A and B are shown apart, each in its own frame.
Chain A
């Protein structure tokens, strides 16, 4: 049997996702209409013999997470449990800490995946690849090709081109190493814990030699990063292989990348969930391209939506409204004639008549098949980088103003136009 572990992080992580992560744990932020994590869970549930999905992170147990797990268990008929780390233990430390839970029931292999990736999740392909490569207990990293410059922002993998064995692994190098990058999705056998255990033992010894009085020493020994601490050491040992996928893949670090990820998933719905894509119907709004509309949303037939629009529960969209490349979260209201482009409109926010709320997309270069979305910095040369516009929860935009390339923190009533600003 098989298991899957999804690393969901915790509230101190994902700051680039603010102000949206104030309201909801980032892994539950809706991408293409469903929580980010649900895409992972759906993919796992499709794998034959998948018995259990474990979420590991350091969020306090909370209602949203509990509710999500409950409904996902119902929907996908699979056991889902949350295991809370006592502190951020890193990608390796977390699974090592909960190794007994992962190994209970005796899985012959298990997937590890980061919550903040958007992927087609070629899990069956990874299983088949593992059977065909190396010894039965080898480990597999999902890899994809990036362009030379962007590769250096990721974990870089050098492979043996004949065997696909990982010969060298380096995380975010400062010079070019390889254009094959780590997708943050792995297939391990239980033997991985021997390797993590070895690092843990070594950390413990170092710590004893180092400083006996340090109070958080245990934490230091247990904080282990899979990438730097494990893969780097395993490379070239005949244990670690890379399965390269041509399927879509993106990180979801910044809020801007959520819009890009939504586009990728909405496009995938043509194959996986055509029922989730809105169509042009009599008495309905005009749909252009891929659009997700929650059935509880109330949309005027003169509105024009798409491409790449996701409309959440209970959203109200008035007459003559235009929405493109945006995510509208639940309870928001877009009044007549307003125009929303490249935005995330927060929960219960209101946009007045004829208001224009617009951002600048940070899409990957469309002419480079290997380009990834840049996880841009908020400021460049002391100026706010033009990015998508984000309205936090319960923001009110008055009629007829323009909000351009701005981030509005929750519960603000704006009274005029703003451009290129963070509004506290």
Chain B
């Protein structure tokens, strides 16, 4: 694999869809399966030979900058932050980073930051070089194509014919997976103004036979909102089961795919899983039942509580005999008093919850 490749990651703005988590931590740094979302992508890129990652951000965060300096050091690569003064959509950021992307003749990757899958970067590069045109986009199969914009392409070589937004009759079941590789010449198509790459750039590239689709093997999920974050976690853990089963915890009290940080402490008579991620320093007291949840760093779940389909934010505390379900998301440092029932509650950071939330709502 050639070195000196570059990748642009479209991080964007405030990550409002993943609130209340993103009120405390920039979205790229929110841990997905015990690793910041962004690092899942960056580490896969590095493995494929990328040595310069450009983050297209529309708001600056000291936390993100500092963390990127740490990662530059750790991974031995360069990480730049390309700051949009105004939101530039999905294509504008490429124009803004034009100089960084064109300092050599190599093709470069572009990724949406919310995507989780078995990243196929090496295959993308191979595929892209094989057809030799300006762009390759990764597509993934969906069950209900009518909800998405689908991609119609030639089965044999992948050449894209057209894009159809929310098709009413079946034309294709493949959608844009938010991962691209482009040749530098593609940049001449983009001006420095708010532009949608999907709507304004891709159709003309396809018309000129410059855009090819490569089908993704395995799972794919946009984890930009809590419900999908949890679904994506289930898929990711299943893929870990197949590729690196040693990373999962098994034994009495563990069901299915469970990822536990080695510094977490788990009490007696707990039943954990399936599909649970337990972060660093988390304490689960005795008799806790937890399934399909992410428990973030430093949280505590007290005895006999029952959690399903929840995200427990950093340093939160869930009392005894609490029941939480239905995509309840606790922000950072939330305290849930003993014996409460939270159904689909979205709790903003630093709140103390003293009453049950029997129907889904936001707790300011």
| Interface flag for B358 (CB, 8 Å) | yes
Q: Which residues of A contact B321 (CB under 8 A)?
A: 322, 337, 339, 356
Known: A322-B321, A404-B358. Contact between A339 and B289, CB under 8 A? Answer: no
Residues of chain B within 8 A (CB-CB) of A353 are 289
The CA-CA distance from A235 to B297 in the complex, in Å, is 73
Contact A320 B339 (CB under 8 A): no
Inter-chain contact A322/B339, CB cutoff 8 Å: yes
Chain B residues, Cβ within 8 Å of A419: 358
Chain B proximity mask over A401-424: 1 for CB below 8 Å, otherwise 0: 010100000000000000100000
Interface size, chain A (Cβ < 8 Å): 17
The residue in chain A whose Cβ has the minimal distance to the Cβ of B322 is A339
Within 307-349 of A, Cβ neighbours of B (below 8 Å) are at: 319-322, 324, 336-337, 339, 341
Q: Are B323 and A356 within 8 A (Cβ)?
A: yes
Interface string of B208-247 (1 = CB under 8 A from A): 0000000000000000000000000000000000000000
Q: Note all chain A residues with C-beta closer than 8 A to B287.
A: 319-320, 336-337
In the complex, what's the smallest C-beta–C-beta distance from B302 to chain A, in angstroms?
Answer: 11
Q: Does B317 contact A (CB under 8 A)?
A: no
Query: B residues touching A (Cβ–Cβ < 8 Å)?
Result: 269, 286-287, 289, 303-304, 306, 308, 320-321, 323, 325, 339, 341, 358
Query: Does A354 reach chain B (CB closer than 8 Å)?
Result: yes
- Give A residues with C-beta under 8 Å from B: 319-322, 324, 336-337, 339, 341, 353-354, 356, 358, 400, 402, 404, 419
A-B CB contact pairs (8 Å), 29 listed: A319-B269, A319-B287, A320-B269, A320-B286, A320-B287, A320-B304, A322-B304, A322-B320, A322-B321, A322-B339, A324-B339, A336-B269, A336-B287, A337-B289, A337-B304, A337-B306, A339-B304, A339-B321, A339-B339, A341-B339, A354-B289, A354-B306, A356-B321, A356-B341, A358-B341, A400-B289, A400-B306, A402-B325, A404-B358
Which residues of A sit under 8 angstroms from B341, Cβ to Cβ?
356, 358, 402, 404
Cβ–Cβ < 8 Å partners of B308 in chain A: 400
Q: Min CB distance, B80 to chain A, in Å?
A: 49
B286 cross-chain contacts in A, Cβ below 8 A: 320
Nearest Cβ distance between residue B87 and chain A, in whole angstroms? 42
- A400 / chain B contacts, CB cutoff of 8 Å: 289, 306, 308
Write out the residue numbers on chain B whose beta carbons fall within 8 Å of the beta carbon of A354: 289, 304, 306
| Distance A106 CA – B285 CA, assembled complex (angstroms) | 68
Q: Are B306 and A356 interface neighbours, CB within 8 A? A: yes
Given contacts A319-B287, A320-B287, A339 and B358 within 8 Å (CB-CB):
no
Residues of B contacting A336 in the complex (Cβ-Cβ under 8 angstroms): 269, 287
Assess the A402–B323 pair: CB atoms within 8 A: yes
Count: A-B pairs, CB below 8 Å: 44
Q: How far is the CA of A322 from the CA of B269 in the complex (A)?
A: 16
How distant is A140 from chain B, measured CB to nearest CB, in Å?
45
Taken together as a complex, chains A and B put the C-alpha atoms of A354 and B304 apart, in Å, by 7
The B interface is mostly helix, strand or loop, or mixed, namely: loop
Closest-by-CB residue of B relative to A405 is B358
Residues of B contacting A324 in the complex (Cβ-Cβ under 8 angstroms): 339
Measured CB to CB, the nearest residue on chain A to B289 is A354
Question: Hey, which chain A residues are within 8 Å of B304, CB to CB?
Answer: 320-322, 337, 339, 354
- Closest A residue, CB atoms, query B323: A356
Please give, as numbers and ranges, the residues of chain A lying within 8 Å of B325 by CB-CB distance. Answer: 402
Interchain CA distance A247-B210 in the complex, whole Å: 89
Contacts of B339 in A (CB 8 A): 322, 324, 339, 341
In the bound complex, residues from chain B placing their C-beta under 8 Å from that of A356 are: 306, 321, 323, 341
A356 to B343, CA, bound (A): 13
Expressed in whole angstroms, the minimum distance between the Cβ of B56 and any Cβ of chain A is: 44
Residues of B close to A404: CB separation below 8 A: 341, 358
Query: Could you say which residues of chain B place their CB within 8 Å of the CB of A358?
Result: 341
Contact B303 A320 (CB under 8 A): yes
Give the distance to chain B from A121, nearest Cβ to Cβ, in Å. 34
| Cα–Cα distance between A16 and B129 once the two chains are bound (Å) | 78
Whole-angstrom distance between the Cβ of A419 and the nearest chain B Cβ: 7
Q: Which of A321, A324, A339 has the most CB of B within 10 A?
A: A339
Determine how close the nearest CB of chain B comes to the CB of A346; give it in whole angstroms.
22
**In the complex, chain B residues whose CB is within 8 Å of the CB of A341:** 339
Q: What CA separation (Å) do A419 and B356 show in the bound complex?
A: 14
Q: Which residue of A lies closest to B286 (CB)?
A: A320
* Nearest 8 A/B pairs, CB to CB: A320-B287, A339-B321, A320-B304, A322-B321, A337-B304, A354-B289, A354-B306, A356-B323
Q: Least Cβ distance of A42 to chain B in Å?
A: 34
Chain B residues within 8 Å of A321, by CB: 304
Assembly CA distance A356 to B307 (angstroms) = 12
Q: Report A299 CB to chain B, min CB distance, Å.
A: 15
A404 to B343, CA, bound (A): 12
Question: What is the CA–CA distance of A419 and B287 in the complex, to the nearest angstrom?
Answer: 25
Inter-chain pairs besides A356-B323, A402-B323, 5 sampled, C-beta below 8 Å: A322-B304, A339-B339, A354-B289, A354-B306, A356-B321
Q: How far is the CB of B175 from chain A (nearest CB, A)?
A: 34
Q: How far is the CA of A321 from the CA of B286 in the complex (A)?
A: 12
Cα(A404)–Cα(B304), bound, Å:
18
**Which residues of B lie under 8 Å from residue A337 when comparing CB positions?**
269, 287, 289, 304, 306, 321
Cα distance A419–B306 in the bound complex, in angstroms: 17
Complex alpha-carbon distance, A261 and B304, angstroms:
29
State the Cβ distance, B361 to closest chain A Cβ, in Å: 15
Give the distance to chain A from B199, nearest Cβ to Cβ, in Å: 43
Given A356-B306, A400-B306, A339-B323 contact (CB < 8 Å)? yes
- Complex alpha-carbon distance, A353 and B270, angstroms: 12
| Nearest-Cβ distance from residue B300 to partner chain A, whole angstroms | 17
Residues of A with C-beta under 8 A to B306: 337, 354, 356, 400
Which partner residue on chain B sits nearest A417 by CB separation?
B325
The answer for the CA separation of A319 and B303 in the assembled complex, in Å, is 11
CB closest chain-B residue, reference A419: B358
Give the distance in Å from the alpha carbon of A324 to the alpha carbon of B340 in the complex. 12
Cα–Cα, bound, A337→B306 (Å): 9
In the assembled complex, the Cα of A400 lies from the Cα of B255 at a distance in Å of 15
How near does chain B come to A355, taking the closest CB pair, in angstroms? Answer: 9
A402 and B320 alpha carbons, distance in the complex (Å): 16
